[in-house]
Structure 1
Amino acid sequence: MLRVGAHTSIAGGVHNAVDEQLEYEGNCGQIFSHSPQVWQDPNLDPDNAAQFRDSSAEADVGPWVIHSSYLVNLCTPKDDLRQKSIDSMQAELDAADQLDIGYVNVHLGAHTGAGVEGGLDNAASALDELDVPDGVTILVESDAGSGTKLGGEFEHLAGVRKRTDQDIEFCLDTAHAFAAGYDLSTPEAVDDTLAEFDDVVGLEDLACVHLNDSKHDCGTNKDEHAHVGEGLIGDDGMRAFVNHDAIRDVPLVLETPTEDGRGFAWNVERVKELREDE
């Protein structure tokens, strides 16, 4: 069964995310537990949390993912930022446990001078500080790779897994991977990129895909998302990706823009049109 949905808002209470997802005709999704632009702990009302759990189960919407704050930087060499990042991640993991959400998604962040190896060491040691609840898994997301940010190379994902004692899995963002230099614009390119991911990281540990087209070309390191099939990955690449045997059972979460009169509902429908057995 195709699992496709969108990043949805928790405005007015986390339970509202389920209704919003159903409006998009999605059946899985992602949320922020609070504003991602500030250091803030989730403040989940127990009744709303219970309603979220019940509504998700009743409507068969899932899996859900909590996306961590944009301020989290696991790779940082700065002690204060490291501790804030650890504390923020722990709060997200506890929120996921409260909501029966199975995944918390995080970017590795930027090493800001510590170097690739130092940054990966920092990220792994930060992950090792976390108390991960049973039933919750940390997903490390691929990145577009600009500046000193890590995660743009599949080797970075494999490197942090090798260093950490946590049982982490991964989220592949198609726009990020494309921007980082992994071509996805043709069926052959999709085959090659997913084969490389499998060789370096392992497709068995790919738990989620952020399905986004890209407004910028392959290898530019520019992270700007486009509607599915409307960017430089394009229809051929997106069709090949969503029909690829390697990801057919992986949930697809959209982070596409709202512009040109189109939003998440349009993109969910577009994915369903591209999927050949739906």
Structure 2
Amino acid sequence: MTLRVGAHVSIAGGVDNAVGNQLDVGGNCGQIFTHSPQVWQDPNIGDEEAEKFRTGTKKNLKGPWVIHTSYLVNLCTPKDDLREKSLDSMQKEVDAAAQLDIPYVNVHLGAHTGAGVDGGLDNAASVLDEVDVPEGVTILVESDAGSGTKLGGEFEHLAEVIDRTEQDVDVCLDTAHMFAAGYDLSSAPAVNETIAEFNDVVGLEHLEYIHLNDSKHECGTNKDEHAHIGEGLIGEEGMERFINHPDLADVPMALETPTEDGKSFEWNINRVRELRHDHEE
């Protein structure tokens, strides 16, 4: 069982810089934005930097990388203009993934904003159906903290999207989001139960990536605020079991932990390695 763990790192100065940034924090896989996630923007990656990224990744990292889409993307929206922008953005992200030899593009379902759960899930599936996904790239739907009308907080939402779209989509589970949405991960038995439920509802064969984050808020609060590994309300026991759960041991993990209290990604990656029992690299 190979431990694949890394962080969400910056591409400032060129996407090829992400490789060195990942190595600097001790990661061997990880996540990037192709541009600022707060705006509608095209990835705009030059051929030379793409080549450097691909070469650097192959030489230095275990991989895989995942691209996280813009925060503005809303697959569930009933609004035509937002739907079109979301579709256009998704298309450009999967094309960028192909350019960079990145196998995954991660996206939140978004909020149905009055369309209802069923309507929102249908909207999401229909947007996904229209994306022309290049060979070798898979879209991952991320679990959500479930506040307001956001979908993806319940495993059933993820299962329904997989079922309703003609696209082959898989899942990225975020530990802080799952916990916020009401899935307990704070003890070894709770982790076992939650993973078993995910397998029953969605299927572990669909789990391709994990966002590993502790939570600053209680289980079921729908509040999404990440904490250092083992130091939040999921805590050390839950995190240790999650990291070592036999069904999850080979799934790559990207950290989105905060930089505060003198602790950064490097501290958190080291913490994951300390909690992992087999320590294989």
**TM-score range relative to shorter protein:** over 0.9
Deviation at 1:43, TM superposition (A): 1.0
Give the corresponding residue for 1:43: 44
Give the corresponding residue for 1:126: 127
Q: Does 1:89 align with 2:90?
A: yes
Query: Which deviations, in whole Å up to 9, do the C-alpha atoms of 1:117-164 show, x marking residues without a partner?
Result: 000000000000100000000000000000000000000000111100
Equivalent position SS for 1:66: strand
Deviation at 1:61, TM superposition (A): 3.6
Give the corresponding residue for 2:7: 6
Give the corresponding residue for 1:156: 157
Equivalent position SS for 1:149: coil
Q: d(CA) in 2 for partners of 1:173 and 1:265?
A: 19
Query: Which deviations, in whole Å up to 9, do the C-alpha atoms of 1:215-259 show, x marking residues without a partner?
Result: 000000000000000000000000000000010000011000000
Q: Does 1:225 align with 2:218?
A: no
- Read off the aligned partner of 2:127 and give its amino acid letter: A
CA contact (8 A) 1:186 1:236 kept: yes
Give the corresponding residue for 1:253: 254
Q: d(CA) in 1 for partners of 2:192 and 2:41?
A: 41
Deviation at 1:45, TM superposition (A): 1.4
TM-score, normalising length: structure 1: 1.00
Give the corresponding residue for 1:204: 205
Equivalent position SS for 1:139: strand
CA contact (8 A) 1:93 1:136 kept: yes
Q: d(CA) in 2 for partners of 1:234 and 1:202?
A: 26
Give the corresponding residue for 2:170: 169
Equivalent position SS for 2:139: strand
Q: d(CA) in 2 for partners of 1:142 and 1:59?
A: 30
Q: d(CA) in 2 for partners of 1:32 and 1:101?
A: 12
- Read off the aligned partner of 2:114 and give its amino acid letter: G
Aligned-residue sequence identity (percent) comes to 73
Q: d(CA) in 2 for partners of 1:61 and 1:88?
A: 28
Structure 1 residue ranges without an equivalent (≥5): none
Query: Which deviations, in whole Å up to 9, do the C-alpha atoms of 1:94-130 show, x marking residues without a partner?
Result: 0000000000000000000000000000000000010
Equivalent position SS for 2:218: coil
Give the corresponding residue for 1:191: 192
Q: d(CA) in 2 for partners of 1:122 and 1:22?
A: 39
Deviation at 1:60, TM superposition (A): 2.8
- How do 1:140-155 and structure 2 match up within 5 A? 140-155=141-156
Equivalent position SS for 1:5: strand
Q: d(CA) in 1 for partners of 2:8 and 2:79?
A: 31
Q: CA RMSD in A?
A: 0.4
Q: d(CA) in 2 for partners of 1:43 and 1:77?
A: 29
Query: Which deviations, in whole Å up to 9, do the C-alpha atoms of 1:172-203 show, x marking residues without a partner?
Result: 00000000000000000000000000000001
Q: Does 1:109 align with 2:110?
A: yes
Q: d(CA) in 1 for partners of 2:242 and 2:146?
A: 21
Structure 2 residue ranges without an equivalent (≥5): none
Q: d(CA) in 1 for partners of 2:62 and 2:84?
A: 34
CA contact (8 A) 1:109 1:150 kept: yes
TM-score, normalising length: structure 2: 0.98
CA contact (8 A) 1:18 1:61 kept: no
Runs ≥4 in structure 1, deviation > 6 angstroms? none
